Amino acid sequence: MIETKNLTKRYGSLLAVDRLDLNISQGSIFGFIGPNGAGKTTTIKMLAGLIEPDTGTILIGSTDMCREPVKAKQQIGFIPDRPYLYEKLTGLEFLKFTADLYGVEASGFLDKAETILDKFSLIDWKNELIEAYSHGMKQRLIMSAAILHDPEIIIVDEPMIGLDPAGIKMVKHLFRELADSGKTFFISTHTLSIAQDLCDTIGIIQQGKLIATGTLDDLNILAHASSEDLEAVFLKLTREASFHQGDPEAGGILP
């Protein structure tokens, strides 16, 4: 459902993403983790069609993002790490604005919007100005807007920032419910416990390279670790990759 081949992006002399190959199947939740500056944000921006790669391809379903960006973006719901909103609109007005952008049919909009707002515990605030929302409520509103047009793929950057424990539990449940219905998630996060609890498969990026990918069991085997703790596995793999970066024989962890 999401496939990248040889995906590369430079900023001047900085190689931010280096020949990234991903293949994420439909109905799965893929976690993308890595140290600061590893290339996560650049990857997300390319997948969402916000910036173009220097080389390589991005397939959203069977649609090439570079060749048919509008068609590809219609299949995507994007949840950024910060909720950029028009705060003088009400929650319902913002969803209507989003629905119009994606061509959601007006006849079924209200029922659909209210159902989604109810799932994200925002129904009682639908007619309140967004400026009165807490940060967590704004984040949940962005999530509501991202799934309003029923996208096949949902790209998420740090989904749980600003959410309280009840909100985190609710969002994790909703993401799993959507994945079980066939939606595909690409989630970038620094919160390793979220990746461990929520994601079916995990990719680790280091200095622009994908150094490991698989289930938690796969990563344990790759790291020669007995721990079920993703943090311990992540630290071991990234330390080894940092030490051996560029040597495909070292540690057996470079693609």
Contact 31, 210 (CB under 8 A): no
Q: Quick one: average pLDDT of 113-128?
A: 97
Cβ atoms 168, 129 nearer than 8 A: no
Res 243: pLDDT: 64
Does 248 have pLDDT greater than 80?
no
Q: What is the mean pLDDT of residues 196-222?
A: 95
* Over residues 37-66, mean pLDDT: 96
Would you state the pLDDT for residue 81?
86
Inform me whether the pLDDT recorded for 235 exceeds 60. yes
DSSP one-letter code for 108: G
For the four alpha carbons of 123, 148, 7 and 14, in that order, the dihedral sign comes to negative
Q: Select from 247, 241, 158, 229 the least CA-distant residue to 204.
A: 241
Share of the chain above pLDDT 70, in %: 95
The pLDDT of residue 255 is above 60: no
* 139-151 confidence digits (pLDDT tens): 999 999 999 999 9
Position 229 scores a pLDDT of 87
* pTM, 2 dp: 0.91
Domain boundaries, the chain: 1-75+153-255, 87-150
Query: Cα 154 vs. chain centroid, distance in angstroms?
Result: 6
* Over residues 18-40, mean pLDDT: 96
| pLDDT band, residue 211 (cuts 50/70/90) | very high
Write the CA distances from 176 to 6, 118, 197, integer angstroms. Answer: 30, 17, 11
- Burial environment of residue 17 by CB neighbours within 10 A (0 to 12, 13 to 18, 19 or more): buried
In sequence order, what DSSP letters do the residues of 43-75 get, joined into one string? Answer: HHHHHTTSS--SEEEEEETTEETTTSHHHHHHT
For 28: left if phi > 0, alpha if psi spans -120 to 50, otherwise beta; the answer is beta
Structure tokens at 181: 């219905």
Mean local confidence (pLDDT), 65-75: 96
Percent of the chain residues past pLDDT 90, beyond the cut: 85
Which tokens belong to 234? 């992540």
pLDDT band at 162 (very low <50, low <70, confident <90, very high): confident
Domain 1-75+153-255: CATH class, spelled out: alpha beta
Q: Is 104 helix (H, G, I), strand (E, B) or coil?
A: coil
Q: What is the DSSP letter of 152?
A: S
Average pLDDT value over all residues in the chain: 92
